[in-house]
Amino acid sequence: MITDMRQVLWQHGSTRCKAPHGAYGAQTMTENIIALAKQYDRYDCGWVTALLCHAEWTVSHKRVERIWQRERLDVPQRQPKRKRLWLNNGTCNRLRLEYPEHV
């Protein structure tokens, strides 16, 4: 005689008793990632992952990378260093604009 529903389904009881996990706190984590990316604009997703772990979030770098790509976050390009302007008379002064459209 069948005494338990597990015998009918032929599955272990623990498979039905586990609570679903997954997207718990995903919205707040996404908001935190966006806020950190705006606050530290030169940090990439690896540094943001380290900041989240330091703030006691349990998150893997792969999840942060997926959110980073989904939200289309990126690190802005570095501005090139301004080179020295050597003139023939030996001065190193950079010339300034005198009027609009003066090139």
Q: Note down pLDDT in tens along the chain; length 103 residues.
A: 555 555 566 666 666 665 655 566 788 889 999 999 999 988 999 999 999 999 988 889 999 999 999 999 988 888 887 766 665 666 666 677 888 888 7
Residue 66 inside a domain? The answer is yes
pTM for the whole thing?
Answer: 0.56
Residue 63 inside a domain? The answer is yes
d(CA 75, CA 33): 13
What per-residue confidence (pLDDT) applies to 86?
61
Residue 55 inside a domain? The answer is yes
Residue 34 inside a domain? The answer is no
Residue 47 inside a domain? The answer is yes
Structure tokens at 88: 């023939």
What total of structural domains would you count in the chain?
A: 1
d(CA 41, CA 8): 57
The whole domain housing 67 covers 41-76
Backbone φ, ψ for residue 82 (5° rounding): -80, 125
Residue 16 inside a domain? The answer is no
Residue 61 inside a domain? The answer is yes
Residue 70 inside a domain? The answer is yes
